[in-house]
Amino acid sequence: MVKKGYEEDFSRRVFKQLQGFEGYGFPESHAASFALLVYISSWLKYYYPDVFCAALLNSQPMGFYQPAQIVRDARDHQVKVLPVDVNHSFWDNTLEKIEDKYFAVRLGFRQVKGLREEDMLLLINNRLLIFNHVDQLREAGVPEAALEKLTDADAFRSLGADRRQALWEVAALGDRPIALFGGQQSESVKEVQVQLPLMTEGEHVVQDYSATGLSLKNHPVALVREKLDLLRTTQIGKLKQMKDGDPVKVAGLITVRQRPGTAKGVLFMTLEDETGAGNIVVWEKLFDQYRKEIIQSRLFMVEGKLQIEGEVIHVVAKRCFNLNSLLRGLTVANEDNLPLLTLARADETTAPPTDSREVFHKGRNFR
């Protein structure tokens, strides 16, 4: 500034003002940018919840909410969500025209854990019309490992096969020669049809969460609601019908734990059941007392007092409980490790069993 003719005293005063501005200039510009983003996002979510849902899912991993919560919110706002399917899905989540107010959101292959985009592009590019049998995907060059991931995600429904039947057929592919030049396979090498036992709804829901992190079939908490009723819990969606100060007991999957540095040790949690999401406040002293339950729980129950301020509802915790054991009942009750797809052929067995308590998200932690 001095070289350009400004007096040194004036230049130093201007420089000090600039130094002072840096303390709030960035937060101010950040707040303005964030406000614009929130405004646009809110407009999209209100008028185009179908587009908003698909866009958020295609942008994962990001933000505060997981795919299960994004899908849940879209369905609560009249958006139909369709499952991953080998005949209808693309890599990204897409929109399908239906006779309804909004487009349907078709879940994409990106939602299936462990799938590679290049394998799915191979499937899509060879899907000239529709696939009618698992064999056709193999002939298209889709690796067996990818086919197994698709069976885990129950993506063969349009072929008339649920995940158990599809897994049986995929496992049988290793014994079948690939048909050359599009020719038909010899009937002598086709797998003998076997009547497989049906999976329970609980098994399907657990496997959905294991494969995709969400389920369109049912909410896991709904499947243990009868046991939660015996514990005299209140559905989260019914809290708004109660009064400020009422004693209450609620249970749900933990979706978020947040302990801001400015909150003096207070923990904020979000629980989700089949009726909605609820906010839980855990004071610092109580957090220290129930740290193990809070950190290790998937299915969490809290007993406390209802706090209602306008439309904002919290449950201020007094006691906390780990109810992970109830999730065990979603799968076969009399098997130690609760395998989900216990298919066994004469010469082999399936992959190691999955514990139903471990497939549900642990909840995201924020500060």
All domains in the chain, ordered by first residue: 2-39 (no CATH), 48-176+200-212 (no CATH), 220-347 (2.40.50.140)
Burial of 301: CB neighbours in 10 Å, binned 0-12, 13-18, 19+: buried
- Among 252, 200, 307, 303, smallest CA distance to 69 is for 252
| Mean pLDDT of each 10-residue bin along the chain, 367 residues long | 95 89 79 93 96 95 86 95 96 95 97 94 88 87 91 92 83 60 46 68 90 92 94 94 94 89 83 93 92 91 94 93 88 42 32 52 63
Structure tokens at 71: 């899908």
Q: Do the beta carbons of residue 207 and residue 355 sit within 8 Å?
A: no
Q: Do the beta carbons of residue 207 and residue 163 sit within 8 Å?
A: yes
pLDDT on residue 191 = 53
pLDDT on residue 177 = 54
Spatial CB neighbours of 360, under 8 Å, sequence gap ≥ 6 = 209, 220, 253, 298, 299, 327
pTM assigned to the model = 0.78
Distance (Å, rounded) from C-alpha 106 to C-alpha 117? 17
pLDDT on residue 189 = 47
pLDDT on residue 64 = 77
Q: Say which DSSP state 224 is in.
A: T
Antiparallel, parallel or unpaired: β 344-345 and 348-349: antiparallel
pLDDT on residue 350 = 35
pLDDT on residue 352 = 35
Q: How many CA atoms lie within 13 A of 56 on its CB side?
A: 23
Structure tokens at 23: 């303390």
pLDDT on residue 128 = 78
- Among 72, 3, 8, smallest CA distance to 219 is for 72
